[in-house]
């Protein structure tokens, strides 16, 4: 019998985590092979590897403990990849040479698969004097554009696209330009952005006071604090960015405040880190720990949870020793502090199994209690590791126990740390678990409420036929299995769309109390929420002790909600039968292909000649198309040049683009990505239009072909529309098209745009 609770779980494993040879032949024949591979690799750091391999396998078995994707995909593969998810890079120097040194370090880190964070507050503002060159500074936003372009060109290891977080202090002179940068939809697309909000600024907002924008010792502008706050709120109301990070609160609560200052986070915000800080992630699957679900005596097995937490802490501590690091500075930082980020997933499902409504006072109390127990178990497990293997090198008992977060820890835990030390400086974090939650059978992700109790996913098979799969939340499936497929869901089954924002905040605050790092959490707001009520959500987060706040309000920019009334016999959160869109490549029925289509014997195509100025030889592009459902779409590309200097990259581009095209869905993003690549040596004017690079020119040729064949509506536009298409869903947001599978399922999940269909995540 398959270990997978749903077809989508097995597909996610095959796509994301299954170890395969270069030609696609599986090395992991079963998911048990994947668990064994991970257990064996992490156990090699032990004196008795055989014993710990079995214990680690037991923790992984049946998806009880879920290491983050980079560990699951990379451990035991001998690939040159990092197993760490999160990096904050070094402090960006305020000099041209230093800035581009940092750019190189970022590229090396992303090449190995790490998501990175940067604080751009250290770069002088636009218009400031640049001594020695008689020029004005271009400002941090201009250099962020350079980072953004770099990120576009790097595909992270394990088929994970690079992800970045940019932060800027609320008192930087360019903060207003930072806040509004995402109003240009083509700008800084590879960044998540957050404002570092200080305690003094929040005090000034509440007191309606003035606020100085400062760099160095110079005050550049003075603004009204409340006006600046309103600009932050307006931008996130309109564009879902920037987020807000309460940076002073983070530093005061940091266990390591005596040796480091934090000024940035990883891409999803759950890991505030110092310069060159690194952290790895993993989650306890709480949905697997509930005994007697949906019965009067339902309870979470605390003994099993504590044992699982202890094993997970040991596994994660071993990752510090077996992982590779892109930079020596990152390795040193990880070894000196041995940070880990153990969190949870399936919390909302576990609450449902106990009959608790997510967002209720009782659910918040239960969350507080569970995460308290997890924190205790994690810290005591780390103390036991310190007895056996030694405390982290920078441990200072007096200073560590006097840090903000440790002041709240139970006295018996503090006594144990005082006597024996602790192996890991920080231990808990709530990560975005969008992909691993699907892999675990579509459990609710992180501490989020259930996003949708059921939705239909369409899969295109190799023979061109289409199948429909119902993707059902783990707890809902369990309820149906227990009480019948037609059983009406009780009132306490609520979802992310119907939940009041205040309930989201309440749950985040309840969890934050026992999380020593931070929490990746999205507070879903209704589209028609008033601006004043929206601002109040952030004030609630501040007042209740959260370390940051990320919201998502559906609109024309972020993705809208299309709905019709539920039928009387439809359970909350479920969908009744509704008209489907016509069989086209447009709209909600853009499909994810489970495997690439077989190539027919012959294809129809066109060859284009591209002459790049100052280049001795032309480049020839052949684009062949396939017909599916009466519609023509690109299937493969061949790029050729007599210039041998072009050979490697044209061959690589041929293979990569063709592989993407054969996966199907909305592949128009290939054009967007190529056209956005700029050459630092300069582009060229072609037919009266400036083209930033030869790669951008290739993107333009492919776009021209797509328009000519009817695949695209026009230059710079999306898929050609179908006037007969009707899009009707029930209580389910229709998001933007996924760049991986093409379905309109991109939704904000824990601060990151994530595809509910294939698991693709903007944040890697």
Tens of pLDDT, residues 261-309: 999 998 898 999 999 999 899 999 999 999 999 999 999 999 999 999 9
Question: 577: buried, middle or exposed (CB in 10 Å: 19+, 13-18, 0-12)?
Answer: exposed
Q: How confident is the model at residue 521, as a pLDDT?
A: 93
Q: 214 in a domain, yes or no?
A: yes
**DSSP percent split of the chain into helix, strand, coil, nearest 5:** 40, 20, 45
Q: 731 in a domain, yes or no?
A: no
Q: Does 414 share its domain with 297?
A: yes
Q: Does 55 share its domain with 171?
A: no
Cα separation, 64 vs 61, in Å, equals 6
Residues of the chain scoring pLDDT < 50:
155-160, 560-594, 721-734
Show Cβ contacts of residue 413 under 8 Å, excluding neighbours closer than 6 positions.
376, 379, 380, 383
Cα separation, 697 vs 694, in Å, equals 5
Show Cβ contacts of residue 543 under 8 Å, excluding neighbours closer than 6 positions.
none
Q: Does 117 share its domain with 15?
A: no
Q: 314 in a domain, yes or no?
A: yes
Q: Does 98 share its domain with 199?
A: yes
Determine contact, residues 210/222, Cβ cutoff 8 Å.
yes
Cα separation, 411 vs 136, in Å, equals 56
Q: How confident is the model at residue 757, as a pLDDT?
A: 63
Three-class SS state of 122: helix
Number of domains the chain is built from = 3
Q: Does 77 share its domain with 216?
A: no
Q: Is the dihedral of CA 577, 583, 586, 590 positive or negative?
A: positive
Q: Does 311 share its domain with 340?
A: yes
Q: Kindly state the tokens that stand for 517.
A: 């790092």
Q: 760 in a domain, yes or no?
A: no
Give alpha helix (H) positions in 76-139: 96-111
Q: 380 in a domain, yes or no?
A: yes
* Buried-state track 114-147, b at ≥16 Cβ within 10 A, e below 16: bbbbbbbbbbbbbebeeeeeeeebbbbbebbbeb
Cα separation, 416 vs 102, in Å, equals 41
Show Cβ contacts of residue 411 under 8 Å, excluding neighbours closer than 6 positions.
none
Determine contact, residues 179/167, Cβ cutoff 8 Å.
no
Count, in order, helices (H) and strands (E) of the chain.
23, 31
Helix 302-322 to helix 49-60 angle (10° resolution) is 120
Q: Does 190 share its domain with 288?
A: no
Q: Kindly state the tokens that stand for 759.
A: 């698991």
Q: 96 in a domain, yes or no?
A: yes
Q: Which H or E run includes 380?
A: helix 361-389
Residue in 85, 251, 255, 266 annotated catalytic? 266
Q: Does 353 share its domain with 416?
A: yes
Q: Does 146 share its domain with 166?
A: yes
Nearest to 524 by CA among 581, 589, 448: 448
Q: Does 306 share its domain with 385?
A: yes
Tell me how far apart the terminal alpha carbons of the chain are, to the nearest angstrom.
31
Q: Does 118 share its domain with 159?
A: yes
Domain that holds residue 106: 87-253
> Which of the listed residues 420, 449, 484 is the one where a domain comes to its end?
420
Residue in 241, 260, 270, 589 annotated catalytic? 270
> Which of the listed residues 361, 390, 420 is the one where a domain comes to its end?
420
Cα separation, 224 vs 209, in Å, equals 6
Active site residue 307: no
DSSP state, residue 714: S
Q: Does 239 share its domain with 289?
A: no
Residue in 86, 151, 170, 268 annotated catalytic? 268
For 257, how many CA atoms within 13 A lie in the half-sphere containing its CB? 20
Nearest to 492 by CA among 676, 349, 608, 681: 349
pTM (2 d.p.): 0.77
> Which of the listed residues 391, 420, 449 is the one where a domain comes to its end?
420
Nearest to 276 by CA among 286, 288, 262, 297: 262
Determine contact, residues 622/610, Cβ cutoff 8 Å.
no
Active site residue 299: no
Q: 479 in a domain, yes or no?
A: no
Active site residue 268: yes
Q: Kindly state the tokens that stand for 152.
A: 């576009």
Q: 500 in a domain, yes or no?
A: no
């Amino acid at each position: 019998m398959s270990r997978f609770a749903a077809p989508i779980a097995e597909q996610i494993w095959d796509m994301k985590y299954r170890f395969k040879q270069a030609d696609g032949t599986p090395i992991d024949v079963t998911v048990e092979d994947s668990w064994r591979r991970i257990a064996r690799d992490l156990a090699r750091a032990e004196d008795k590897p055989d014993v710990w391999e079995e214990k680690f396998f037991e923790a992984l078995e049946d998806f009880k403990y879920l290491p983050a994707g980079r560990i699951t995909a990379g451990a035991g593969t001998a690939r040159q990849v990092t197993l760490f998810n999160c990096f904050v890079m070094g402090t960006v120097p305020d000099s041209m040479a230093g800035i581009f040194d940092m750019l190189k370090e970022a590229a090396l880190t992303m090449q190995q698969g790490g998501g990175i964070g940067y604080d751009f507050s250290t770069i002088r503002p636009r218009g400031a004097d640049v001594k020695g060159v008689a020029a004005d500074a271009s400002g941090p936003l201009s250099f962020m554009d350079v980072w953004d372009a770099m990120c576009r060109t790097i595909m992270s290891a394990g088929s994970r696209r690079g992800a970045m977080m940019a932060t800027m202090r609320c008192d930087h002179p360019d903060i207003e330009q930072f806040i509004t940068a995402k109003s240009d939809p083509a700008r800084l697309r590879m960044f998540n952005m957050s404002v570092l909000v200080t305690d003094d600024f929040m005090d000034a907002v509440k007191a309606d006071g003035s606020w100085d924008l400062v760099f160095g010792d110079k005050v550049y502008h003075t603004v009204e604090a409340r006006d600046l706050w309103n600009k932050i709120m307006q931008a996130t109301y309109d564009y879902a960015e920037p987020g807000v990070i309460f940076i002073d609160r983070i530093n005061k609560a940091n266990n390591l405040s005596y040796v480091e200052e934090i000024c940035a986070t990883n891409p999803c915000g759950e890991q505030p880190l110092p310069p060159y800080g690194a952290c790895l992630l993993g989650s306890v699957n709480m949905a697997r720990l509930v005994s007697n679900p949906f019965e009067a005596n339902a309870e979470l097995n605390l003994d099993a949870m504590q044992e699982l937490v202890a094993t997970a802490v040991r596994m994660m501590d071993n990752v510090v020793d077996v992982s590779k690091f892109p930079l020596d500075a990152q390795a040193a930082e990880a070894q000196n502090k041995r940070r880990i980020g153990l969190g949870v997933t399936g919390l909302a499902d576990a609450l449902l199994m106990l009959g608790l409504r997510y967002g209720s006072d009782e659910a918040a109390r239960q969350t507080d209690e569970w995460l308290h127990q997890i924190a205790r178990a994690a810290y005591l497990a780390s103390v036991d590791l310190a007895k056996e293997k030694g405390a982290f090198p920078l441990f200072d008992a007096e200073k560590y126990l006097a840090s903000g977060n440790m002041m709240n820890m139970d006295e018996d835990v503090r006594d144990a740390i005082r006597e024996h030390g602790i192996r890991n400086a920080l231990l808990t974090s709530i990560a975005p678990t969008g992909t691993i939650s699907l892999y675990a059978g579509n459990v609710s992700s992180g501490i989020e409420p259930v996003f949708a109790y059921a939705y239909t996913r369409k899969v295109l098979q190799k023979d061109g036929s289409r199948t429909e799969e119902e993707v059902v939340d783990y707890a809902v499936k369990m309820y149906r299995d227990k009480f019948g497929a037609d059983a009406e869901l009780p009132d306490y089954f609520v979802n992310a769309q119907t939940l009041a924002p205040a309930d989201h905040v309440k749950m985040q605050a309840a969890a934050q109390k026992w999380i020593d790092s931070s929490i990746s959490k999205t507070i879903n707001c209704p589209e028609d929420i008033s601006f004043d009520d929206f601002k109040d959500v952030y004030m609630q987060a501040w007042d209740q002790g959260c370390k940051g706040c990320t919201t998502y309000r559906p609109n024309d920019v972020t993705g809208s909600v299309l709905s019709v009334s539920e039928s009387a016999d439809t359970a909350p959160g479920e969908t009744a039968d509704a008209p489907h869109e016509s069989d086209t490549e447009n709209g909600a029925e853009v499909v994810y292909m489970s495997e690439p289509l077989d190539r027919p014997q012959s294809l129809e195509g066109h060859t284009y000649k591209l002459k790049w100025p100052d280049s001795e030889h032309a480049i020839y592009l052949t684009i062949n198309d396939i017909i599916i459902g009466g519609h023509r779409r690109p299937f493969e590309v061949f790029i050729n040049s007599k210039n041998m200097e072009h050979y490697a990259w044209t061959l690589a581009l041929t293979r990569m683009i063709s592989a993407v095209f054969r996966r199907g869905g909305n592949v128009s993003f290939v054009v967007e990505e190529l056209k956005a690549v700029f050459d630092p040596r300069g582009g060229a004017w072609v037919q009266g239009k400036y083209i930033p690079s030869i790669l951008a020119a290739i993107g333009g040729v492919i776009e021209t072909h797509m328009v000519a064949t009817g695949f695209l509506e026009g230059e710079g536009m999306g898929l050609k529309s179908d006037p007969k298409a009707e899009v009707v869903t029930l209580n389910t947001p229709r998001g933007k098209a996924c760049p991986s599978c093409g379905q309109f399922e991109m939704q904000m999940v824990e601060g990151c745009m994530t595809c509910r269909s294939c698991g693709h995540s903007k944040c890697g």
